[in-house]
Each structure stands twice: as C-alpha cells, then as structure tokens.
Amino acid sequence: MTPDQHAVVARILSARQQEPGALLPILHDIQDQLGYIPETAIADIAFAMNRSKAEIHGVISFYHDFKMSPPAAHELRLCRAEACQSMGSDALAAHVHACTGIDEHGQTADGQLAVRPVYCLGACATSPAMLVDGQLHARVTKEALDAVLQPILNKTTGGAA
C-alpha cells in the first residue's frame, strides 16, 4: 500500500472499528475510497477487528463485489442467468472473447476492460442484458455489444480494434 492508501485504511478503521458488525462497512468504505481492498490492508483490518487474516480474506473472497486488485477502467458485466442464456448470452460471451481475447473474470493487460459474469440483472423481460460501467443495456445484440466495446477497445489497442 502507498502511504496515502495506508492513511485511508487507518482513518476508516479508526472511525468504524468499534461499531457492531463493522467488518462489511469497513470493507465497503475501503473499496469505495481506494477502488479495491489492497492485500496488504488485510493485516491491518484483522488487527483492528481482532480477527484472523484468514477470516478477513474469507469475507472478501465470499462477496463477488469486493476486489483485491485495482479495478479496470471499464467493466462489462454480462448476465449469464437462464433467461439471458435462452436469448443468446452464451453467444455474446463468445463474441466478447473473440473481440478481446479475455474470458469471463478476465481483464485486458492494460487494465482498460474487465469482463465479469453476473447471474441476474433483473432485466429478464428484455434479455439478454449487460451492465457496462453500471449502465444497463437490454436486448443486447452482437452489434450493440460492438458499439459499446469499440470505444473501449480503441483505447486498449491505440485505435486499431
């Protein structure tokens, strides 16, 4: 952790560690402030909460929204639930892989794009669905996916996608 990151973690721990059930709020605050939970922060959190590092790591790894590495500049979450699968999300996942070379749970080497599966976005009636940087896209086609990915991939490849 950088000194600034360490200061953020220390401030959050100091403010919240005495609250009942503080672990999840602490983890959320750290991720909100830093964009992820640095591996090196686990020892500080464990000490402040009087828990083992394994317990803290277990909580972080249990919840899929917690990240332990810096997030990508853009995140594509493709719905993989049954309704979206029946409407073509498998083909969209294959198309993402063909366009980017990364699989679900993958990230481009330059950190521009991360791809994450999600198992329901609540848009079943308008499937297949995806979230890109928190914005819902419904009735997604390969062409619509390309329109969203193209500007991101242009940044990744320097203009040649």
For residue range 29-39, list pLDDT tens digits in order.
999 999 999 99
CA within 13 Å, CB half, 12 = 24
Residue 159: per-residue pLDDT? 47
Helix (H, G, I), strand (E, B) or coil at 1: coil
Strand order in the sheet with 106-107: 106-107, 113-118, 74-79, 130-132, 135-137
The two three-digit tokens of residue 36, written as one number? 């992820």
> Residues 6 or more apart from 21 whose CB is under 8 A from it?
none
Map out the domains of the chain as residue ranges: 3-62, 74-157
The two three-digit tokens of residue 83, written as one number? 């309704």
**Percent of the chain residues topping a pLDDT of 90:** 81
Q: Are residues 124 and 83 in contact, defined by beta-carbon separation less than 8 angstroms?
A: yes
Q: Are residues 45 and 26 in contact, defined by beta-carbon separation less than 8 angstroms?
A: yes
Q: What separation in angstroms does the CA of 5 have from each of 8, 31, 59, 65?
A: 5, 11, 21, 20
Residue 103: per-residue pLDDT? 86
Which whole number is the average pLDDT over 13-41? 96
pLDDT digits (tens, 9 = 90+) for 115-161: 999 999 999 999 999 999 999 999 999 999 999 999 988 875 554 44
Which whole number is the average pLDDT over 20-45? 96
Global pTM value:
0.70
Q: Are residues 152 and 74 in contact, defined by beta-carbon separation less than 8 angstroms?
A: yes
Residue 110: pLDDT band (50, 70, 90) is: confident
Other beta carbons within 10 Å of 155: 15
Helix (H, G, I), strand (E, B) or coil at 17: coil
Domain 74-157 has CATH 3.40.30.10: yes
Quote the mean pLDDT of the chain: 92
Residue 153: per-residue pLDDT? 85
Residue 157: per-residue pLDDT? 53
Strand partners, 131: 77, 136
Which whole number is the average pLDDT over 56-70? 91
